[in-house]
Amino acid sequence: KNIYSEILEAKSQKRKLLAILLDPDKIIWQAMNDLILKINQSPATHIFIGGSLVFSDKIDELILKIKEKCDLPVVLFPGNPTQISNKADGILFLSLISGRNPDYLIEHQVKAVPILKRTNLEIISTGYILIEGGNETAVSKVSQTKPISRVRFQEVLHTAQAGEMLGNKLIYLEAGSGAHLSVPSEIIELVSKNIEIPLIVGGGIKSQNEIQKAYTFGADLVVIGTAFENDNNFFNNH
Ligand code: 1GP
């Protein structure tokens, strides 16, 4: 089965999904076996790989290592085309639609095409919306775009709806990795009630409680990066 149809199926069955985001630069290779064990013991349904800036040239190696011992689908979540690996199962083909930087709206995507054409990756077009998270995060810095204010609900909604009308298959509400504040519940609720496509929410989520809250307000898939990175026992302890 492909990744997107499984996301749609989960949404229709109201089954919530969870992705653990791994940044290849932050992997402690000696602790890989334990990391994979912890992922297998967690409620994760997907592994996302990537970051705004990744310097590691070991993305292929990382994915192969994960795939030795873990059956979860591996989905690239790339900051730019250098992070594409044909070892993954799919890719969130992101367009940063909250921003007005043409590089992140279309330029990187054009550059990615010849690379993607040499892979069998499932390409999942994703409208990526950055929302102010209380501190400047890497994605805002690297993309040189301003996040949408946390109180501009209609602007977020119209951006998400424009993404849907443009044919995006997913909308991703992002507060930025390591954000002090995660995406406000009001925004999750408003967007989820007014789009048909599945909704991903991530950035700054630090507890199980916050994960549940995002689900309650309408997130179909929640992404956890930093909290799990800081504590691989996150799903046992929090
Ligand atoms: C970032 O949404 C992800 O793109 C995860 O963010 O690292 O804050 O969990 P955190």
pLDDT tens-digit readout, 22-81? 999 999 999 999 999 999 999 999 999 998 888 888 999 999 999 999 999 999 999 999
pLDDT at residue 232 greater than cutoff 70: yes
% residues pLDDT > 90 (the chain): 95
Total residues belonging to the chain: 238
Cβ neighbourhood burial of 236 (10 Å; 0-12, 13-18, 19+): exposed
% residues pLDDT > 70 (the chain): 99
Determine if ligand 1 sits within 6 Å of the CB of residue 83. Answer: no
| Eight-state DSSP code of residue 54 | -
140 is in an annotated binding site: no
Nearest-angstrom CA–CA distance, 49 and 223: 11
175 is in an annotated binding site: yes
226 is in an annotated binding site: yes
DSSP H/E element including 161: helix 153-165
ipTM over 0.90: yes
Give me the pLDDT at residue 237, please: 74
Nearest-angstrom CA–CA distance, 88 and 190: 33
Give me the pLDDT at residue 205, please: 98
The two tokens of residue 229 are 């990175």
Give me the pLDDT at residue 119, please: 97
Please state the rounded mean pLDDT for residues 134-156.
97
What are the pLDDT digits (tens) for 88-132?
A: 999 999 999 999 999 999 999 999 999 999 999 999 999 999 999
Fold of the 3-233 domain? TIM Barrel (3.20.20)
Determine if ligand 1 sits within 6 Å of the CB of residue 178. Answer: yes
CA 51 to ligand 1 centroid distance, Å: 9
β-bridge mates for residue 17, sequence order: 221
Q: In Å, how far from its chain's centre is CA 176?
A: 10
Q: What residue segments make up the domains of the chain, in order of their start?
A: 3-233
Give me the pLDDT at residue 56, please: 86
CA 202 to ligand 1 centroid distance, Å: 5
Give me the pLDDT at residue 55, please: 84
Q: Could you tell which of 49, 80, 177 is best to mutate to test the pocket of ligand 1, judged by most ligand atoms within 8 Å of the CB?
A: 177
Nearest-angstrom CA–CA distance, 20 and 6: 17
Mean pLDDT of all residues belonging to the chain: 97
Q: What single-letter amino acid sits at 32?
A: M
Nearest-angstrom CA–CA distance, 173 and 90: 19
177 is in an annotated binding site: yes
The pLDDT-based confidence of 214 (bands split at 50, 70, 90) is: very high
Please state the rounded mean pLDDT for residues 177-189.
98
Cβ neighbourhood burial of 234 (10 Å; 0-12, 13-18, 19+): buried
Give me the pLDDT at residue 238, please: 60
Give me the pLDDT at residue 227, please: 97
Q: What is the dihedral of CA 74, 75, 78, 83, to 10 degrees?
A: 40
Nearest-angstrom CA–CA distance, 26 and 16: 27
